[in-house]
Amino acid sequence: MPPEIEARYLTIDWQSEGVARAIEVAPVSLEIEPRTDGEFVVESVIFNDFQPWLGIRVGPGFEDVMPVFVTALGQETPMLQVADPRGGGFWWLRNDGWDHAGKRHLSELQRSAGVYNIRIDDLTLRVENRLSTFGRADIQAYIDDFRGDLLWMIMNDSAGATATGKGAGAGTEFADALKELHTASHRVLASPAVNIREGQAQQPLAKLRPNTVTFREYARNPTARQLTGRVFNESADTAENRYLRHVLAVSLKVADAYVSAASLQSSFLDRLASQESERARRDREMEMRPVEPEVFDQQTEEIKRKLDALADFKSRSGHEADLVGRFPIRLGKRYFDHFAFYYTPQDAMASNVASPVDYRVVVLPKDLFELILGAHHFCKNFTLTGSVDSRVRDTSKGQQFREITFTSVQEVLPQTDVLEKRAGKRRGLEKNNWLVRLSRNELRELNREAGIGERRAEKSLEKKRVISLSVEEIGRWARKLTETDAGFDCLGISRSSNFPLGMRFVSNPDYATCVAAFNKVRELFNRGGLDLSKLEEISSIGILHTSDIYEKWCLLKIFMLLMHDFRFEPERGWEEKLVATSLERASNVRFEFSRDDLEMKVTLNCQAEMSTGRRPDFILEVIYTGKEQSRRFDRESGRRGGIVMDAKFRSNWKRDGLNRMLDELVLAKGYDKAVESGRVFILQPCEFTARPAASPLEWGAHCDYGRTQSHRQGWIQTGVSSSGARSTQHLKRLLAMVFQSSFPEPQEEHDDYGNKTWTSRSFCLGCGERHVAIEAKSTQSGATRWLLDCKRCGVWSVRTHCYDCAAPLFKNGTIWTYHNTVADQVTNVICPSCGSYFDREFS
């Protein structure tokens, strides 16, 4: 960003033409990015029911320069300079005239989307103005959700207790403190401390307290029935009572924040219980599963694309002396050497008579090998025409094998009827209205998921009940405190935050109890690392900079998932750092989380500056801290996985817009260089962005987990627009993908008695419990697969391997599986590395 230019959203109350009565400035400036052509670019948004101004402020060296607005036709118009009456300085605005009726200035930037240029001396700032269907209510929903979750994380509750175990628990301590404060303050109200001052007033003779004025009046009028005498005025507006009203006001503000945050949590848990119960009911009743025609056709098209690529393949680099011919072969498993398969001639009987060997190996050009590997699961018979080098080799065990190496390939002929079978299956699905009957295995998985959902719904309702009780109790005492405060107001007592210097708060037990109760309230709030002075800032977060609000909302959701769902312990002082980061646009902020039981650490960097000067929104890395783990996994650092996440707040995307944005992040900005895995994902709030659907699972219409790129690049939907628990379900699945890619394989251990057990440095995706119940089995190919079960919440995962490329695969049920799956059999995952999957029709 150029240091001489600053761009912010403004709301302006106009006093007269060119003069602002008040300007509200967004707390965070818009990001101005440099372009390779020497220009700078800033992105602004037009919302559907409010139009903030885009204000430009220039720094030293440009005081005497007047910025000009350049229209699409190249016409230059001077911008309007407006003084900021409260913040000082000046803002430059696009001005399209004064509306005398509405008493306000007009601006094309508030109503027209497009690309505009602002020239500031020899600098050009390009403004990309976008339309948004979001309005005040949508943005306010993010603010309310963000504020509620932030306060809840810090003030704590039984439903989402932080990993530090701090906070007011279920609100019992807070309710007790409010009760104590009310009881003591009510006694003070019944008999408040007063100041007595002597004065003068007319009095009847019977109550007269004479002074010099009394005698003078009597001398003038001896028959008067009332004379001026001494009176004593009592006033409850003392320093102690003024401070006590301040104590009540602050306590009520904290109570209001707690009730607001707890009510949001209660609503969330209610929606979660409803959703889980409905899902459980649907899973138990399901006998037929719908198949998405688009997904089925897309997977058929993928098969056709791979076959066409094989048919079009040609490689001419052989020598004339090499043997040229046609070789009809059937490929078996991958050979351990690079780019090779076991094979048998299709006419195996004649070949064995001619050249008896123990087995055969074919070595292919790298490009052809990768193409065949992608099609190997549905096509094993090929006729290859080309030049080969054939020889018989001996193994160390005395076996002989024939190795043929293709030095050039003129033609590849895949021999498969898979497309005909797919066409027949499609006709069958059409006949059955695109419904398939569930297999016994699928029914068993659905019944288990239904049980998990019912258990989760039951726990959610119990947590909601506990929170509701605390809200009711705190609300009751808050109402009583409000009545007490109103009583002090009737006595003419004002508020003051100055603590009095007298001895009354020590000597008077009622006043002392009020201070002690207030100290408890303050301690409960400060215990979470949040000063009471920050409460006002959190409560007054505005809606001006929506992209920044969404980014901070995403940060908070990542925090909550790491701490609550995956049980990571945050670093000391995280609360204060999180609040500071949430209220400001700080860069290079680093948070650390740990799980000592797994010797695992997670670092989360916000706005971390790369060597190129770019700043991705979030960089998350998984690091194993144990010496053995560090040595095995990543030489010195112990790094096992990572991801770059960039938040993009848009109300809609053009077709293929998300793919283009990914290309910009990876190819232009180089975000993939920030982590060793090269994994880059976009977080955005729009639903139904995957067209056609990326998967037959429920997330397929809203997310793309990089199904064809080994999960390296993609996007997910996360936002308040989804109902309740679903707002972060896709984000949780994304983090689960990062963690599972970092988990090492389970290790076999033996005790002194020869008993065999399995241990794993992994945790449950449902509740974060470390995996203890581990069962190992062998696959058809002889590899080991593991069932990782959670006895606490019932969520399970199966860790296995692709039978073609040996890439690790995870089956997490229909909710948490992020691999793509077969359209008509959603429990059958597709390898993200080579695209292989098992289908009986392929065999």
DSSP letter string, 92-142? EE----EETTTTEE--GGGT--EEEEEEETTEEEEEEEEE----HHHHHHH
pLDDT above 80: residue 550:
yes
pLDDT at position 632 is: 44
Do 343 and 413 have their domain in common? yes
Q: Is residue 446 part of a domain?
A: no
Q: Is residue 458 part of a domain?
A: no
Do 730 and 755 have their domain in common? no
Domain closes at, from 214, 235, 256: 235
* Greater model confidence, 1 or 152: 152
For residue 269, the SS3 value is helix
Domain closes at, from 742, 777, 792: 742
74-83, 672-681, 834-843: the lowest-pLDDT one: 834-843
Domain closes at, from 711, 727, 742: 742
Average of per-residue pLDDT across 392-404: 90
pLDDT at position 725 is: 46
Which of 153, 173, 172 has its CA nearest to residue 163?
Answer: 153
Do 584 and 708 have their domain in common? yes
Residue 336, classified by CB atoms within 10 Å of its CB into exposed (0-12), middle (13-18) or buried (19+), is: exposed
pLDDT above 80: residue 353:
no
- Token pair for 294: 């688009």
Alpha helices in 491-531 (DSSP H): 504-507, 509-526
Residue 734, classified by CB atoms within 10 Å of its CB into exposed (0-12), middle (13-18) or buried (19+), is: buried
- Token pair for 255: 């109570």
148-157, 305-314, 451-460: the lowest-pLDDT one: 148-157
What is the share, in percent, of the chain residues with pLDDT greater than 90? Answer: 55
Phi, psi (rounded to 5 degrees) for 478: -65, -40
Do 640 and 731 have their domain in common? yes
Residues shown for the chain = 843
Average of per-residue pLDDT across 550-559: 94
pLDDT at position 310 is: 94
* Greater model confidence, 351 or 557: 557
Per-residue pLDDT of 601-620, as tens digits, reads 999 999 998 988 889 999 99
Do 202 and 222 have their domain in common? yes
Report the distance separating Cα 159 and Cα 464, nearest Å: 7
Torsion of CA 396, 399, 400, 406, to 10 degrees: -60
Please state, rounded to an integer, the average pLDDT across all residues of the chain. Answer: 87
Rounded to the nearest angstrom, the gap between the alpha carbon of residue 318 and the centroid of all alpha carbons in its chain is: 53
Do the strands 5-16 and 40-46 form a parallel or antiparallel pair, or are they unpaired? unpaired
- Residue span of the structural domain in which 551 resides: 542-742
pLDDT above 50: residue 219:
yes
**8 A C-beta contact, residue 593 and residue 568:** yes
Do 344 and 209 have their domain in common? no
Residue 208, classified by CB atoms within 10 Å of its CB into exposed (0-12), middle (13-18) or buried (19+), is: middle
How far apart, in Å, are the Cα atoms of 371 and each of 305, 306, 829, 830?
10, 7, 20, 16
Report the distance separating Cα 834 and Cα 371, nearest Å: 9
Which amino acid is it at 393?
R
Per-residue pLDDT of 786-835, as tens digits, reads 999 999 999 999 999 988 888 899 999 999 999 999 999 998 999 998 88
Report the distance separating Cα 557 and Cα 149, nearest Å: 9
Average of per-residue pLDDT across 276-302: 94
**8 A C-beta contact, residue 120 and residue 67:** yes
Beta-bridge partner residues of 363: 340, 405
**Omega of the bond leading into 692 within 30 degrees of 0 (cis):** yes
pLDDT at position 363 is: 94
pLDDT at position 152 is: 87
* Greater model confidence, 364 or 631: 364
pLDDT at position 318 is: 53
Q: Is residue 546 part of a domain?
A: yes
pLDDT at position 160 is: 40
**8 A C-beta contact, residue 131 and residue 49:** no
Do 791 and 738 have their domain in common? no
pLDDT at position 841 is: 62
Do 618 and 647 have their domain in common? yes
pLDDT band for 161, please (50, 70, 90 cuts): very low
Q: Is residue 119 part of a domain?
A: yes
Do 582 and 559 have their domain in common? yes
pLDDT band for 461, please (50, 70, 90 cuts): very high
pLDDT band for 187, please (50, 70, 90 cuts): very high
Beta-bridge partner residues of 345: 329
Report the distance separating Cα 384 and Cα 391, nearest Å: 18
pLDDT at position 316 is: 63
Helix axes 293-311, 418-431, angle to 10 degrees: 170
pLDDT above 80: residue 633:
no
Do 599 and 689 have their domain in common? yes
Q: Is residue 712 part of a domain?
A: yes
Do 721 and 773 have their domain in common? no
pLDDT at position 637 is: 53
pLDDT above 70: residue 648:
yes
Per-residue pLDDT of 145-154, as tens digits, reads 898 888 888 8
Q: Is residue 55 part of a domain?
A: yes
Report the domain count for the chain.
Answer: 5
Do 568 and 643 have their domain in common? yes
Query: Please, what's the largest Cα pairwise distance for the chain?
Result: 152
- Residue 315, domain CATH: 2.40.50
Q: Is residue 490 part of a domain?
A: no
Q: Is residue 416 part of a domain?
A: yes
- Helix-, strand-, coil-residue percentages of the chain, each rounded to 5: 40, 25, 35
Report the distance separating Cα 701 and Cα 364, nearest Å: 38
Do the strands 226-235 and 195-204 form a parallel or antiparallel pair, or are they unpaired? antiparallel
Burial 470-483 (b: 16+ CB within 10 A, else e): bbebbbebbebbee
Which of 379, 439, 416, 447 has its CA nearest to residue 824?
Answer: 439
Alpha helices in 701-757 (DSSP H): 729-742
For residue 350, the SS3 value is helix
Which of 613, 670, 612, 611 has its CA nearest to residue 644?
Answer: 670
Beta-bridge partner residues of 713: 680
30-39, 699-708, 790-799: the lowest-pLDDT one: 30-39
Report the distance separating Cα 591 and Cα 606, nearest Å: 8
pLDDT at position 753 is: 76
